[in-house]
A and B are shown apart, each in its own frame.
Chain A
Amino acid sequence: KAGVTQTPRYLIKTRGQQVTLSCSPISGHRSVSWYQQTPGQGLQFLFEYFSETQRNKGNFPGRFSGRQFSNSRSEMNVSTLELGDSALYLCASMEQGATNEKLFFGSGTQLSVL
């Protein structure tokens, strides 16, 4: 099976722009979660989707949003980019989204905001 695929791998944007990141989970996995990783704050949970519904959300402003499609692929959108949004954005998938399941991560999208 192919692993979790994130595109693009690298992205450079300027302040005020918006960006959309994509995540394709492992085939058959229905849960997709997103995380932000920065040197200062470490890893932080953004949100989780299961069967096209947002099931959980972290403490991020409304500029961060996401969605999940019927094929379980997910997109994350950040509007009105700020310098502090520069980070590695990781997505992870689980088969059923059960709390005792292991997470499978993609390689991430490195976003730089100038």
Chain B
Amino acid sequence: KQEVTQIPAALSVPEGENLVLNCSFTDSAIYNLQWFRQDPGKGLTSLLLIQSSQREQTSGRLNASLDKSSGRSTLYIAASQPGDSATYLCAVRMDSNYQLIWGAGTKLIIKP
């Protein structure tokens, strides 16, 4: 059974710092991995999608990497801003049934 873990559960850093969020998964038979952000009381916004054959994806100040063999993905946020404060979730899409399995999220607070 696929398990997706995100560490740390919460993170607070000063504005301007570069930071890394981690996502690990136990079953490497994945189709792709996605990173989302969720703002309080709102739905999720897709940030980056990495196919299983890719190593990384970039969008603006965000860079996501994928190491399928070790079951790990990282989301790198450069020059953090208070507007980056949100909960960040990763989700893997399984090869077997195409379902999305979610991590519990990392709650990120960027202090001005």
Complex Cα–Cα for A107 and B40 (A): 10
Is the Cβ of A90 less than 8 Å from the Cβ of B104?
A: no
Give B10 Cβ to nearest chain A Cβ, in Å: 14
Verify if A66 is at the interface (C-beta below 8 Å from B).
Answer: no
Query: Which chain A residues numbered 29 to 65 have a C-beta less than 8 Å away from chain B?
Result: 42-45, 56, 58
Interface residues of A in 84-102 (CB under 8 A from B): 90, 92, 99-100, 102
A108 touches B49 (CB 8 A): no
Tell me if A99 and B31 are in contact (CB < 8 A): yes
Q: Decide if B46 touches A45 in the complex (CB within 8 Å).
A: no
| B60 interface residue per 8 A CB criterion | no
Given A42-B105, A108-B43, A99 contacting B32 (CB threshold 8 A): yes
CB-CB < 8 A to B97: which residues of A? Answer: 56
A100 and B43 alpha carbons, distance in the complex (Å): 20
Q: Who on chain A is nearest to B93 by CB?
A: A99
Tell me if B70 is interfacial: C-beta within 8 Å of chain A. Answer: no
A103 CB-CB contact with B under 8 Å: yes
Number of interface residues of B (CB under 8 A): 24
Task: From A43, A56, A102, A103, name the one whose CB has the most chain B CB atoms within 10 angstroms.
Answer: A43
Q: Which residues of chain B are within 8 angstroms of A44 by Cβ–Cβ distance?
A: 102
Q: Quick one: given A42-B103, A42-B104, A43-B89, are A99 and B98 in contact (CB under 8 Å)?
A: yes
CA distance A103 to B91 in the complex (A): 11
**Selected contact of A90 from candidates B32, B34, B44, CB within 8 Å:** B44
In the complex, A6 Cα to B44 Cα: how many Å?
A: 13
A43 to B46, CA, bound (A): 15
Q: Is the CB of B42 within 8 A of A107?
A: yes
B29 within 8 A of A: no
Q: Which of B1-48 contact A (CB under 8 A)?
A: 31-32, 34, 36, 41-46
Nearest residue, chain A, Cβ from B6:
A42
A residues apposed to B, CB below 8 Å: 4, 6, 42-45, 56, 58, 90, 92, 99-100, 102-108
User: Which residues of B pack against A, CB within 8 Å?
Assistant: 31-32, 34, 36, 41-46, 49, 51, 89, 91, 93, 97-105
